[in-house]
Structure 1
């Protein structure tokens, strides 16, 4: 338990962290990596280059300061982050390192404003917050251990399939011949690669895009931009250099963006672009195990060339007793028009969503680019969907719904 004085001091620093949080976290990562370059084997370098990780950490620290006397409010966000940490193999021994350099960053950025009293209060608060993460992550590590999957495990690519002009699927089986593990529809795995010319290992997280209990795991990777300093290192390497027979390393499935299989409420699966990947797992699972559940599948893409899984969606929908599917293309090609490959043109705006989502007392899952998710979540709220019925996955450092609504 934190002392009343510590709580008072930490809460009083919240406005400062709101104003200078990113400056502090940017300095934190810079100095920590200089002192501990081995940690670059864990962190996503692209997120660091783009500043996404720094912003996410700044938001987390600000939230911790604001709710330091009500940490239970942050528990859903903590669990979401803990899933990512477990997937990346962040261990309890890393937390003292993070604490040391975070406190140093606060002191060095704020200068004289960061009095000894403030630093001492934050040291005490950090210890409590870190222990919350450690305890939750220990439970997750134990769960993976019980499922006989500790750390990174080698998987062989048994099939490589092009799904669209920019998305390719990799079908994976354990290299040791062991059983393919179960997972919850919507979860992701961390892929670790050693790439020639790169000093450090590269990690990326990809949603599992097929139903559980298959003879394989499947990830479906979008080819990202080719700027070697930001996006594209891992996705381009997978597309260009990993083929059938090759091996890659994975950690056990993780994530709390998962299908509520116990519910009988109507299900809406709404995705944009490569956000379709976790939705495929949810759709196929429902079609195979709960075919009477009403399902509406909505996918938005630029055009038919980049859209993936059309045939798989149609095959799954046929299995469902009550189902609808909508493909919305922003700029249909002439071939799209000739072959009637879409149900609506343009964006998934509020009117389209209102016309399709006629059952607001339903469960909604949303995944896709930031702007798509922001608009869709806002539009769902506008048509009367309760916040607790909206679930979403952000491909990147963790962020919460309120931050989307306020963005």
Structure 2
């Protein structure tokens, strides 16, 4: 196992060094390898300029190589458990590499000619991809266990006790070849597909809600632009007619988003009610078809709870998640398209900050869960 892990790390290190350094030879127009540019970059002999020098990608590669070298040493010393402790630092390094690579790309874009260099695109793309590969390798190879369960019962030690306590009916089941164990639980994805199938029966209402959602999202995307336009007309003195025009457009967009937002909510709420009704009807039909012995072993309060609160909770959860997923997805696509149409540089600033926020949120949530567990 250790030899296989070392081999994978060696191959990754060689590939990382090769791609990172070869890309420096293409910091020129066309796909012609510039040997002088390559040698001056890897030797750090060329003057440094933040908007044109790719030295930072070499440094980021050195950091990745250092993590791999530490992992190889720990594996050789048979201390694989300590390699798992490097997961958070490596994740932070990948997030930092991603954000810095986009920042460096924006710096390169200050000189329009450099956007035509293949090396710029190769360096930025490989830095992000290489950091992601390192995190994936650490998570799936080092961080996860080979077996996700532990044996809680000593079968060999408790065989005699279980045989002594075995009832006559269980003995008959064993002799006849049947088992008294409870049936295995179905996989989670089967439950999700079954729940989504209930939503599929009400597809006309969900389709209508999705149509109104697109109109609602389209209007919401343009509201910030015309809000800024109203402020700009007031500050810059664009004139009374321009101000009135911007206000009228803003009012029309607000009214449109409010109206179609209400229709969207009504369609999804009605679809949720129909899903709840269908689930309750199917459950009630299943209860009616049960044998009399089923009601002798099942409590009446538990059955009523399944018909009332549990059915409502399931249908509301599924329908609400479908609603929120559609709304946020459409808003995300529309906002990104609008942002890139206005200024792709400003749009990339958003992508620079999001990974850091996600990483900090993940670390803090884990710390918060541990602190709550220790306090209780």
Same fold (TM over 0.5): no
- Class of the TM-score when normalised by the shorter of the 2 chains: under 0.3
- TM-score, normalization by structure 1: 0.19
Larger fraction in helix: 2
- TM-score, normalization by structure 2: 0.21
Q: Larger Rg: 1 or 2? A: 2
Report which structure shows greater RCO (CA 8 Å, sep ≥6): 2
